[in-house]
Structure 1
């Protein structure tokens, strides 16, 4: 729940920032000087990119959370009790040890979104965020067909 509140607050602050950026972009364009117009246009383009990135990330998070809830309801979440570091994060060495199990399961059933989602969780636990997001995206894509 804390994460959702933090995401909401951060998104709200970004929206406020974007409103101010757009306002100042309009002011700069209205000056009429070429440099000011260029800066004003940049203040329009950059917020649009930020809005696009925010929407993409929120859609990813919502879809991934739905898959996690669905997999939990099916009883398909990983059950290993991995040791935790003092920070509360999973010990990476222990996560790397169980990783081949999830990789083999995904190779055995490459069209099952559940194996991809569990692989994404394994990548995340092992500290490989880029591959975790990639595997979760695969799970999301495959779940739409099921």
Structure 2
């Protein structure tokens, strides 16, 4: 049995993310070791630098965990939307040579989805669709904000 192209693409992405997380883990361990050496040196300046160096891997670990948790939550919503047949259909939208949806088409889709969301703003499905529409329209910060809302609403719905 041959593996489908989308499954291979997902496997490539997961492998890439796993490699990045492993590289970051190694880097964080090295920074932690350097921080411990600085902290145990007994010199005031070295201890102060050691505290700063120790904060870096802790901050990095928090960022990696938060990012992976968000990605898994977004993927969970995407799977549910796909299973329900409610994912945004962008297949017929005109695209630029880069593959991005043409601005006018993205704006028209956004207006349609925003109207759906305004009718039911407390539904995680409409929030998810709005976040996707924001992303297609190029407003990534609002897309992330609305996607966080969709994740929270979906958790309440479970």
**Is residue 2:138 matched to residue 1:127?**
yes
Whole-angstrom CA distance in 1 between matches of 2:119 and 2:34: 55
Runs of 4+ aligned structure 1 residues displaced above 6 Å come to: none
Q: What are the ranges of 5 or more consecutive residues in structure 1 without an aligned counterpart?
A: none
Give the whole-Å Cα distance in 2 for the aligned partners of 1:55 and 1:15: 11
Instruction: Calculate the aligned-residue CA RMSD, in Å.
Output: 1.2
- Give, in angstroms, the shift of residue 39 of structure 1: 0.9
Counterpart CA distance in 2 for 1:93 and 1:106 is 20
Q: Which moved more, 1:80-89 or 1:55-64?
A: 80-89
**For structure 2, which runs of at least 5 residues remain unmatched after alignment?**
1-9
1:59 deviates by 0.5
| TM-score, length-scaled by structure 2 | 0.87
Q: TM-score, normalised by structure 1?
A: 0.94
- Residue number in structure 2 paired with 1:22: 32
Which residue is 1:51 aligned to?
61
Residue in 1 that maps onto 2:18: 8
Q: Which residue of 2 aligns with 1:36?
A: 46
Aligned residues: 146
